[in-house]
Structure 1
Amino acid sequence: MKIEVWSDFVCPFCYIGKRRLEQALEKFEHKDDVEVIFKSYELQPHIQSDENVSVYEVLARKMGTTVEQAKAMNDQLVETAKTVGLEYNFDEVKQTNTLEAHRLFKYAEKQGKGLEFTERLMRAYFTESLFLGRPDTLIELAEEVGLDGEEAEEVLVGDDFLEDVRNDQREAQQIGVQGVPFFVFNRKYAISGAQPPELFQETLEKVWQEENETPSLQQIQTSADAACTDDSCEVTDDNN
């Protein structure tokens, strides 16, 4: 089974949704036969990384609220994150454009480290309040998951993997992704948002059953029986 997940590293519900999917997979009997693939999605592709602008200011501007109201909204997210064992620290988080992080993620994915790097980036942003808009921070995080620092730097100074990121984004538009996280199971069923683990469990079971059940044959009755058995081949006409 393949699960594709469109997400952004600075999306608080994406990290929560990731954990809820993982919780569901832990209870899934066939979890070893499930492949999870993360896809790139930029929530705010036009903003510039800026260490002088807090995430509260970004949210207030986006939602048309005051900074204090934005803080209250994030306080609710902090409590939600705790329910899945995550610690969110928003006070030092700054305005971040994630394109470079997504390009480096694509490099990590090519090296077989996509899942590890996704987790590391999200923990760095939400729990450690690290500024993902700084290239040296991204390189250090890449090295922490076992990637080559010099190769990571080469990716960031050029435009490597940009088209891979854009392909994910175009694909998201084609299948109707309106927001993230967005989970697609075997290109057959989709879950939008950080839904409860029970919904992920139900979907996992449903997809597995449908993909692995033995199809049953229904015989079509005809007026004449023309078939061979082990004993003979005869034609009998029900009309006689």
Structure 2
Amino acid sequence: MSKKKIRLDLVSDVVCPWCIIGYKRLERALELVADDIEVELHWHPFELNPKMPLGGENLRDHLAAKYGTTKEGSFNARAELTQIGANLGFRFDYFDEMKMFNTFKAHQLLHYARQFGKETELKMRLFSAFFGERKVIDEDAVLVTEAVAVGLDQAEAQAVLADERFAEAVRAEELEWVDMGIRSVPTFVFNRAQAVSGAHEPEKLAEFMRIV
């Protein structure tokens, strides 16, 4: 019997902790349905903080201003995320001076990586760079280093960031998903018909894939 084929569009940002948790849970969900379902994954950009200036802002200060998060709430959230990540094989390394960054440049580089089938690899590198390696991911040099790490050309990656050749395409793609009603990430869209927001457990994601 042939496998059921599903198109899965995943809208996310690389500074969103629940996005990497959602993806790691998706990996486990895919193992649960591997015998019956074949999934074609497509990543899409979303900016949590499109107006964030280069250089970023202290993460605790940012969350306090944006969501009213207290220091105690921040501490508890970081501990929870760190434990969830560890259970999924992903390392969160939160620290007091950690900043939130603008990700528009990162999304442009991811768009470039898509042409070479390297988008998922680069996405994983950027998640790890930001959450686990204390890297400043709005800096060109850092982004280019991560691009090279997944096998992309250094000079071409530098040129992509310098001339912003994909800036318009990224903006258009972001707007497309916002226009479809997506306001939070991660959002999983199955067969362009059913959208599910949040980092659901593997079993729940597997259930969505079985019934879509």
TM-score w.r.t. the length of structure 2 is: 0.90
Aligned positions of 1:55-66 closer than 5 A: 55-66=59-70
3-state secondary structure, aligned to 2:102: coil
Are the equivalent residues in 1 in contact too, given 2:15–2:100 (CA < 8 A)? Answer: no
Instruction: Give the equivalent residue in structure 2 for 1:81.
Output: 85
Whichever residue aligns with residue 81 of structure 1, its letter is G
Amino acid at match of 2:49: Q
* 2:3 counterpart residue number: none
1:49 Cα deviation from its structure 2 partner: 2.9
Moved more, 24-33 or 185-194: 24-33
Q: Normalising by structure 1, what TM-score? A: 0.80
Q: Which structure exhibits the higher relative contact order, with contacts defined as CA atoms closer than 8 Å and separated by 6 or more residues?
A: 2
Matched, 1:70 2:108: no
Q: Distance in 1 between matches of 2:115 and 2:36?
A: 23
Stretches of structure 2 that go unaligned for 5 or more consecutive residues are: 1-5
Q: Using the alignment, how far apart are the partners of 2:208 and 2:67 within structure 1?
A: 32
2:200 is aligned with 1:205: no
Change in Cα spacing, 1:123 to 1:170, as seen in structure 2 (3 Å) is same
Report the Cα distance in structure 2 between the residues aligned to 1:166 and 1:31, rounded to whole angstroms: 36
Judged with a 3 Å threshold, the aligned counterparts in structure 2 of structure 1 residues 31 and 160 are, in CA distance, closer, same or farther, namely farther
> Could you tell me whether the CA contact under 8 Å between 1:49 and 1:95 is conserved in 2?
no
Match of 2:103 among 98, 101, 108: 98
**Equivalent residue number for residue 182 of structure 1:** 187
> Greater helix share, 1 or 2?
2
Cα distance in 2 for partners of 1:124, 1:35 equals 26
CA shift, 1:41, in A, is: 0.2
Question: Where does structure 1 lack aligned partners over 5 or more consecutive residues?
Answer: 208-240
Q: Give the length in aligned residue pairs.
A: 206
Output one character per residue of 1:62-92: Cα deviation in whole Å (capped at 9) or x when no partner: 2224445423322222222223222211115
Which is higher, the Rg of structure 1 or of structure 2? 1
Q: CA RMSD in A?
A: 1.7
8 Å CA contact 1:96–1:133 kept in 2: the answer is: yes
1:32 is displaced (CA, Å) by 7.5
2:42 matched residue in structure 1: 37
Percent identity among equivalent residues?
37
Measure, in 1, the Cα distance between the counterparts of 2:178 and 2:67: 23
Residue 173 of structure 1, CA deviation:
1.7
